[in-house]
Every structure is written in structure tokens, then in C-alpha cells.
Amino acid sequence: MRELQLQNINFTAEHPIVLSYKDVLLNTELKVDLVIENCLVLELKAVERILPIHEAQILTYMKLLKIPKGLLINFNSANIVHNGKKSFVNEFMYDINP
């Protein structure tokens, strides 16, 4: 996070997700690890392997926050670059103007 600050990149750590149902706020404790420049959800794990539930989690966060891109990183990997990360895009990616 320090590097993001040094590069003047806007981010929020432990970004809360506010949910409502029929105009009533729900008491949830959903938090995204990092939201970067309001266009990238970064979810950090240290698990044996990435499971479908982890993928569903980041896709849900992206949809609820209307953020087009997500990156899931597993630090419990011998080689993060080759098999410790997975990226996601959703329908909000097509709403971005070049």
C-alpha cells in the first residue's frame, strides 16, 4: 500500500460494501481487501488453492461495487506470476469510454 501512496494512486483498503434491500440498509460486514482507482478490486488470499467460492466472492464484489476489473492473488503459491493470480472482467468493462 505504501507504493500506491508514493505513486499517488487512489485506493481504499478494507473497503466496506453497503447493501440495501427495498431502501433498508442491511447490517453486513462485507469488505474488499483493496479498491484501486475505483476501477480494480484486489482480493488477497493465502490458501492452498483458489476455489470457485473465491472466484464467486470477487465477482460479487465487482458487481456490487460496479467495478469492471478484479484481480485475485494467492500468496500461498510457489510462483504467483504463473499460477497464483487470476483476473476477471465483467459487464461494466464495456461501459468504460476510451
pLDDT for the residue numbered 81: 87
Each residue's pLDDT tens digit in the chain (98 positions)?
899 999 999 999 999 998 889 999 988 889 999 999 999 999 999 999 999 999 999 999 999 999 999 999 999 998 898 889 999 999 877 666 55
pLDDT for the residue numbered 96: 63
Instruction: Report yes or no: 35 and 15 within 8 Å, Cβ to Cβ.
Output: yes
Domain span at 13: 2-95
pLDDT for the residue numbered 61: 95
pLDDT for the residue numbered 97: 59
- Taking the C-alpha atoms of residue 36 and residue 57, their distance in angstroms, rounded to an integer, is 17
Kindly report the number of other CB atoms within 10 A of residue 42's CB atom. Answer: 19
Q: Which of 4, 94, 80, 79 has the alpha carbon at shortest distance from 71?
A: 80
Q: Which of 15, 29, 22, 21 has the alpha carbon at shortest distance from 65?
A: 15
- Taking the C-alpha atoms of residue 32 and residue 29, their distance in angstroms, rounded to an integer, is 10
- Tally the domains of the chain: 1
Cell of 30: 462485507
